[in-house]
């Protein structure tokens, strides 16, 4: 096996270095003739490019031939484009002129990170995600390399600044996604349902977000799908875990895209067994399609649909609870439909209309005992309309309305198939929002917004005021944000016995500063979140009497220009969280919150080999847990978490990409607290077992092949 891999690697090197290469070089200056350091220069539709040095000079090689389009960009300057034969680009002089900022561009928020829209190379939007060492090609895994996120390895979901995973909500083209994660077995980290190649921009707000977004106490993840495909393309991918394919058909003003993937861990588990006994290993079928068309001269309509089916059977032995061995069976069907229309009138009024539907059906057989069953169904309809317009120079208004219609039902049958539980809830939530962006003084911008919600479940009105103040210099920014955010409790809580339940509240206080210069970014933020009206279980009945707090700070540094071909970032987050909620008898640190989180992530490009290498190191201090053998409630701290993750992306040819990754290379056995028996043994000791992921490390190798595309290294079906 090793000999075969070595021969393949030698062939790969010969194949890549044998391709004819053309050198592109030149200098980038501003209108005053001063060199521009850190500008991005690239050939559109490819991964070929470089950054200018401190003298403004740049140089890189490409295998492209004939006529190409060269692009150059830098923050605060107008984009540059040149279409010419590639053999005439050996000595270029690129002149960048200052671009006057529009109001909507400069009124930025603290606590926001962008993947895609802030990048010049559009092809790197998805590859930024894929080539993050710890991501394994998952959007949520890549976002965990950012500050403010907390490592919950047995779960895999986003936990932001002391909040649980429900407090972070996902939106596609402005519309809510009810269930963005794949379903997994216990202690197996979940992955996002959506491919990063579907999106042209991924914006992640860690707090202080605008009034358009509600029903999220901590963070929002808005993602924008790509516009109409300009060319017809098709591709396939395969690995020992999965196989799939898809493509796009481009018409004159529209395009139709589709993609399907099948995942089966049978072979992988045979070669690299995990800690579980599988009767039927994890299988998943995922299909998605999108139709996009321009509407008139200024509009675009998008219709996106996705379906996932996941199933597995795991032999489960719960020795702590003295439950006999059983074959735990899970099947989930997850449907999502999203339709949006964006247009602009002749008077430059931007209009948006959207509708999104989600339906998730979960079936658990042998859930607690052999021959019992548990069925859980959730559905949601989200409707939204929005208007945006620059009223006068220096003032932009955004306003809109939306509605959520939700339903939930959970049914449990015992081993004799007697219905012991049938809980359900249906409710509507209506909201109106307004957002005012104002230029107060040169470099000083303010945002005053409000959101009014009516929750039919509690017959209550809630008002969410939000205010931000930003000062922007050429490279420096200071932001201060205050805002109030509401979110309905989980459907399982609303369906359970309760009294006077209300929406939970989080009040954000954020102060941040950032400095960006020549491809380097330093960002620091401090925050405080006050929680009120959290669900609290008192005498087996839920009340809205819980409360809590979360305070801390984040530091982030990234550098894309100091070392040629190297991009890296370093982040550190400190968090001090405590809350009284759910079944907590006293105010305590939640089980998912770790005080210290640090990460270092880097990506290096080897031009001669056409290869990207990504590495991520993650550290998290030990999380709290409850040991019933000790006094107190949350009374113990687990050992620290550490993981070293890496990946390699080989650009084998313009149509073939080989991707490999390894999670937790060192094989360190990380633990995430302990579970204990409900009753003590004969010696009065509560027996416990550590909570661990199903495997210490994870290996992946996959091949992505573009069967037809007008762009090099384009493995996206959309």
- Check which CATH number belongs to the domain holding 623 and give it: 2.40.170.20
Residue 15 pLDDT > 90: no
Report residue 507's pLDDT band, with 50, 70 and 90 as the boundaries: very high
pLDDT of residue 22: 84
Using a pLDDT cut of 90, give the percent of the chain over it: 59
Q: Each residue of 549-564: pLDDT tens digit?
A: 999 999 999 998 889 8
Q: Is 96 left (phi over 0), alpha (psi -120 to 50) or beta?
A: beta
DSSP 8-state class, residue 192: B
CB 256 within 8 A of CB 289: yes
Report residue 140's pLDDT band, with 50, 70 and 90 as the boundaries: confident
63 lies in the same domain as 180: no
496 lies in the same domain as 612: yes
131 lies in the same domain as 49: no
- CA–CA gap between residue 579 and residue 175 (Å, rounded): 30
Residue 14 pLDDT > 60: no
Residue-wise DSSP of 180-191 = -B----TT----
Domains identified in the chain, total number: 2
- Quote the tokens at residue 265: 């861990």
Mean pLDDT of 77-92: 88
541 lies in the same domain as 674: yes
25 lies in the same domain as 112: no
pLDDT of residue 121: 27
Q: Each residue of 458-492: pLDDT tens digit?
A: 999 999 999 999 998 888 899 999 999 999 999 99
pLDDT of residue 118: 32
Residue 519 pLDDT > 70: yes
Q: Tell which wins on pLDDT, 426 or 75.
A: 426
Report residue 637's pLDDT band, with 50, 70 and 90 as the boundaries: very high
CA-CA-CA-CA dihedral for 137, 143, 146, 152, to nearest 10: -100
Which of 100, 131, 153 delimits the end of a domain?
100
Kindly state whether residue 357 falls inside one of the protein's structural domains: yes
Kindly state whether residue 12 falls inside one of the protein's structural domains: no
Q: Comparing 1-15, 186-200, 306-320, 620-634, which segment has the lowest mean pLDDT?
A: 1-15
Give backbone dihedrals phi and psi of 503, rounded to 5 degrees, phi first: -70, 140
| Residue 111: C-alpha distances to residues 141, 218, 551 (Å) | 18, 11, 14
Kindly state whether residue 718 falls inside one of the protein's structural domains: no
Residue whose entry in the numeric block shows the structure tokens 């021959």? 371
Residue-wise DSSP of 576-614 = EEEEE-BT-SS-B--TT--SEEEEEEEEEEEGGGTEEEE
Q: Tell which wins on pLDDT, 650 or 75.
A: 650
Using a pLDDT cut of 70, give the percent of the chain over it: 90
- Quote the tokens at residue 418: 């007697």
- Check which CATH number belongs to the domain holding 61 and give it: 2.60.40.1120
Residue 215 pLDDT > 90: yes
Residue 256 pLDDT > 80: yes
Mean pLDDT of 389-407: 94
CA-CA-CA-CA dihedral for 180, 182, 185, 190, to nearest 10: -70
CB 225 within 8 A of CB 302: yes
Residue 119 pLDDT > 60: no
Residue 334 pLDDT > 80: yes
Kindly state whether residue 3 falls inside one of the protein's structural domains: no
- Quote the tokens at residue 460: 């209550």
pLDDT of residue 105: 46
Which of 51, 70, 100 delimits the end of a domain?
100
Mean pLDDT of 271-285: 92
662 lies in the same domain as 526: yes
55 lies in the same domain as 137: no
- HEC string of 115-129 equals ECCCCCCCCHHHHHH
391 lies in the same domain as 262: yes
Quick one: which of 389, 468, 461 has its CA closest to 432? 461
pLDDT of residue 710: 59
Q: Tell which wins on pLDDT, 9 or 652.
A: 652
Residue 694 pLDDT > 90: no
pLDDT of residue 266: 94
226 lies in the same domain as 181: yes
Residue whose entry in the numeric block shows the structure tokens 């909507």? 104
pTM for the predicted model, two decimal places? 0.86
Kindly state whether residue 116 falls inside one of the protein's structural domains: yes
Mean pLDDT of 613-631: 95
Report residue 153's pLDDT band, with 50, 70 and 90 as the boundaries: confident
User: Domain span at residue 154?
Assistant: 105-708
DSSP 8-state class, residue 198: G
| Residue 299: C-alpha distances to residues 222, 292, 348, 383 (Å) | 20, 11, 12, 19
CA-CA-CA-CA dihedral for 501, 502, 506, 507, to nearest 10: -140
Q: Comparing 120-124, 301-305, 324-328, 709-713, which segment has the lowest mean pLDDT?
A: 120-124
Residue 202 pLDDT > 80: no
Which of 83, 100, 117 delimits the end of a domain?
100
354 lies in the same domain as 481: yes
User: Helix, strand or coil for residue 3?
Assistant: helix
User: Helix, strand or coil for residue 527?
Assistant: strand
pLDDT of residue 134: 61
Kindly state whether residue 572 falls inside one of the protein's structural domains: yes
Q: Tell which wins on pLDDT, 285 or 122.
A: 285
Q: Tell which wins on pLDDT, 126 or 327.
A: 327
439 lies in the same domain as 415: yes
CB 290 within 8 A of CB 270: no
Kindly state whether residue 716 falls inside one of the protein's structural domains: no
Quick one: which of 410, 506, 424 has its CA closest to 457? 424
Q: Comparing 244-248, 413-417, 634-638, which segment has the lowest mean pLDDT?
A: 413-417
81 lies in the same domain as 136: no
- Average pLDDT of the chain is 88
Report residue 289's pLDDT band, with 50, 70 and 90 as the boundaries: very high
- Quote the tokens at residue 512: 């941040």
Q: Each residue of 588-610: pLDDT tens digit?
A: 999 999 999 999 999 998 988 88
| CA atoms within 13 A of residue 506's CA, in its CB half-sphere | 32
Mean pLDDT of 494-505: 94
Kindly state whether residue 715 falls inside one of the protein's structural domains: no
Sheet holding 40-43: strands in order across? 49-51, 40-43, 67-73, 80-85
Q: Tell which wins on pLDDT, 65 or 499.
A: 499
């Amino acid at each position: 096996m090793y000999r075969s891999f070595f021969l393949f690697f030698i062939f790969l090197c010969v194949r890549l270095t044998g391709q004819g290469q053309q050198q592109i070089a030149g200098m980038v200056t501003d209108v005053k003739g001063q060199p521009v350091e850190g500008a991005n220069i690239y050939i559109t539709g490819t991964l070929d490019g470089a950054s200018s040095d401190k003298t403004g000079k740049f140089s890189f090689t490409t295998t492209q031939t004939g006529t190409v389009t060269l692009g150059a960009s830098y923050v605060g300057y107008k984009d540059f484009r040149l279409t010419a034969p590639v053999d005439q680009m050996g000595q270029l002089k690129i002149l960048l002129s200052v671009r006057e900022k529009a109001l909507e561009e400069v009124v930025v928020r603290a606590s926001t990170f962008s993947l895609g829209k802030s990048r010049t190379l559009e092809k790197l939007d998805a590859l930024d995600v894929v080539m993050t060492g710890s991501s394994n090609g998952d959007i949520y895994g890549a976002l965990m390399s950012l500050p403010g996120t907390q490592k919950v390895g047995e779960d895999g979901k986003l936990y932001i600044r002391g909040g649980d995973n429900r407090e972070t909500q996902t939106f596609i083209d402005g519309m809510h996604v009810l269930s963005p994660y794949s379903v997994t077995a216990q202690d197996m980290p979940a992955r996002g349902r959506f491919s990063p190649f579907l999106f042209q921009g991924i914006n992640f707000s860690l707090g202080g977000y605008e009034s358009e977004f509600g029903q999220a106490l901590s963070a929002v993840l808005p993602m924008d799908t790509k516009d109409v495909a300009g060319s017809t393309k098709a591709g396939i991918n395969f690995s020992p875990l999965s196989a799939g394919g898809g493509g796009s058909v481009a018409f004159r003003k529209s395009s139709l895209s589709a993609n399907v993937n099948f995942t089966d861990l049978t072979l992988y588990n045979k070669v690299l067994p995990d800690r579980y006994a599988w009767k039927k290993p994890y299988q998943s079928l995922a299909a998605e399609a999108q139709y996009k068309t321009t509407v008139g001269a200024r509009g675009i309509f998008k219709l996106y649909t996705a379906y996932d089916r996941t199933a597995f059977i795991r032999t489960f032995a719960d020795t702590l609870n003295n439950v006999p061995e059983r074959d735990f069976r899970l099947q989930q069907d997850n449907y999502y439909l999203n339709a949006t229309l964006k247009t602009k009138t002749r008077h430059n009024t931007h209009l948006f209309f959207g509708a999104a539907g989600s339906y998730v059906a979960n079936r658990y057989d042998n859930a607690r005992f052999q021959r019992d069953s548990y069925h859980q169904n959730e559905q949601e309809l989200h409707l939204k309309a929005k208007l945006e317009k620059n009223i006068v120079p220096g003032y932009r208004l955004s306003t809109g309305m939306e509605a959520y219609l939700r339903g939930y039902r959970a049914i449990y049958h015992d081993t004799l198939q007697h219905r012991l539980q049938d809980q359900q809830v249906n409710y509507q939530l209506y909201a109106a929002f307004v957002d005012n962006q104002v230029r107060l003084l040169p470099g000083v911008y303010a945002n005053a917004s409000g959101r009014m919600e009516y929750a039919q479940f509690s017959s209550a009105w809630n008002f969410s005021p939000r205010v931000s103040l930003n000062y922007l210099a050429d490279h420096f920014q200071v932001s201060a944000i205050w805002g109030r955010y509401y979110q309905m409790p989980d459907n399982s809580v609303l369906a359970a016995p309760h009294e006077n339940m209300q929406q939970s509240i989080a009040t954000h206080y954020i102060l941040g500063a950032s400095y960006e210069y020549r491809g380097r970014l330093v960002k620091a933020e401090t925050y405080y979140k006050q929680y009120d009206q959290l669900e609290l279980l008192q005498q087996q009945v839920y009340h809205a009497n819980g409360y809590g707090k979360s305070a801390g700070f984040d530091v982030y540094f990234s550098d894309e220009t100091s070392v040629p071909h190297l991009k890296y970032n370093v982040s550190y987050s400190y968090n001090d969280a405590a809350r009284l909620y759910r079944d907590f008898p006293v105010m305590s640190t939640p089980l998912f919150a770790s005080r210290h989180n640090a990460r270092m992530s880097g990506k290096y490009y080897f031009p001669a080999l056409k290869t990207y290498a990504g590495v991520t190191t993650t550290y998290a201090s030990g999380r709290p847990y409850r040991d019933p053998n000790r006094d107190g409630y949350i009374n113990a701290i687990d050992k620290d978490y550490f993981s070293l993750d890496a990946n390699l992306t080989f650009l084998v040819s313009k149509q073939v990409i080989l991707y490999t990754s390894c999670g937790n290379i060192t094989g360190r056995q990380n633990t995430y607290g302990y579970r204990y028996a409900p009753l003590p043994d004969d010696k009065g000791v509560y027996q416990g077992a550590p909570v661990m992921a199903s495997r210490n490390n994870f290996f992946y190798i996959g091949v992505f092949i573009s069967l037809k595309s007008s762009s090099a290294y384009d493995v996206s079906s959309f």
